């Protein structure tokens, strides 16, 4: 991955987070954070 692609992807993630913050009151980000915590607990179980 070269630098322009990385910068573009980082900008896209930041823009999506800002849109979620303004439009949905962070509900989608909170949902994803909870699912990531569940995934980490599942992976830690198999370790």
Residue 20 pLDDT: 96
1-47 pLDDT per residue, tens: 899 999 999 999 999 999 999 999 999 999 999 999 999 999 998 77
- pTM equals 0.74
* C-alpha span between 31 and 11 (Å, rounded): 21
Q: What is the DSSP letter of 47?
A: -
Phi, psi of 25 (to 5 degrees): 55, 40
Residue 1 pLDDT: 87
Residue labelled with tokens 């979620």: 20
């Amino acid at each position: 991955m070269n630098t322009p692609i990385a910068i573009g992807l980082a900008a896209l993630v930041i823009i999506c987070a800002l849109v979620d913050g303004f439009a949905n009151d962070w509900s989608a980000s909170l949902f994803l954070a909870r699912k990531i915590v569940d995934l980490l607990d599942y992976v830690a179980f198999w370790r």
